[in-house]
Amino acid sequence: MIGKRMQDAMNEQIKHELESAYLYLAMVAHFRAESLDGMAQWMTLQSQEEVAHAMRFFNHIDERDGQVELKALSQPQKEWASPLEAFQAAYEHERFITEKINDLVKLASEEGDHAAGIMLQWFITEQVEEEDSTKKVVDLLERIGDSGHGLIMADRELGTRSAAPAESEE
Ligand code: OFO
């Protein structure tokens, strides 16, 4: 059975992951409105991954006879001044999520909760990938600067992203 402290912290993490999904969905709407369909597609997959992340915590609590509690989500930002600003916000958000995962790992260690510790290992690796993938787009958009042609090419490239195997299997 899961302990109360870990249960509460994981319920909080479900909220963080769903807020990630919500934020990226807001970016989908923004990019579609700007006719940047490739970036919208990239963010659609990102948003879907976040729901799958939330479900990993949801299932973990449930499987250990805990109580899942869904909390209210905060409203995400609606517009960004440029694609670069949006991806910078996504990168900053991923760094925030990494901190939250690290806090959960610390809690698992304090509580001697080995089941949570093992489950959280997947997220440690995932957060390295999440920070890397958003930072790479930030770097690309910084290089492109104000070039309209470069932006069209970047949009096309980002539209080729496919779902991560772990997520598409779920
Ligand atoms: Fe769930 O990894 Fe991004 O936020």
Residue 11, domain extent: 4-158
Q: Are 87 and 141 in contact (CB under 8 A)?
A: yes
pLDDT of 170 > 50? The answer is no
Does 77 reside within a domain? yes
Domain count, the chain: 1
For ligand 1, pick from 24, 43, 97, 119 the residue to mutate: most ligand atoms within 8 Å of CB.
97
> For a pLDDT cut of 90, what percent of the chain falls above it?
91
Does 165 reside within a domain? no
Report, as an integer, the average pLDDT of 42-67: 98
The CATH number of whichever domain residue 102 belongs to comes to 1.20.1260.10
Distance CA 20, CA 79 (A): 16
CA-based torsion, 77, 129, 164, 62: positive or negative = negative
pLDDT at 41: 97
**What rounded mean pLDDT belongs to the chain?**
95
Report, as an integer, the average pLDDT of 5-25: 98
Does 93 reside within a domain? yes
Report, as an integer, the average pLDDT of 140-152: 89
Q: Are 48 and 20 in contact (CB under 8 A)?
A: no
pLDDT band at 37 (very low <50, low <70, confident <90, very high): very high
- What are the tokens at 123? 């997220």
Does 169 reside within a domain? no
Report, as an integer, the average pLDDT of 35-58: 98
For ligand 1, pick from 10, 20, 51 the residue to mutate: most ligand atoms within 8 Å of CB.
20
Atom of ligand 1 nearest to the CA of 20: 4
CA of 149 to the centre of ligand 1 (A): 30
Does 82 reside within a domain? yes
| pLDDT tens-digit series, residues 55-64 | 999 999 999 9
Distance CA 59, CA 51 (A): 12
pLDDT band at 166 (very low <50, low <70, confident <90, very high): low
Which of the 8 DSSP states describes residue 81? S
pLDDT of 168 > 70? The answer is no
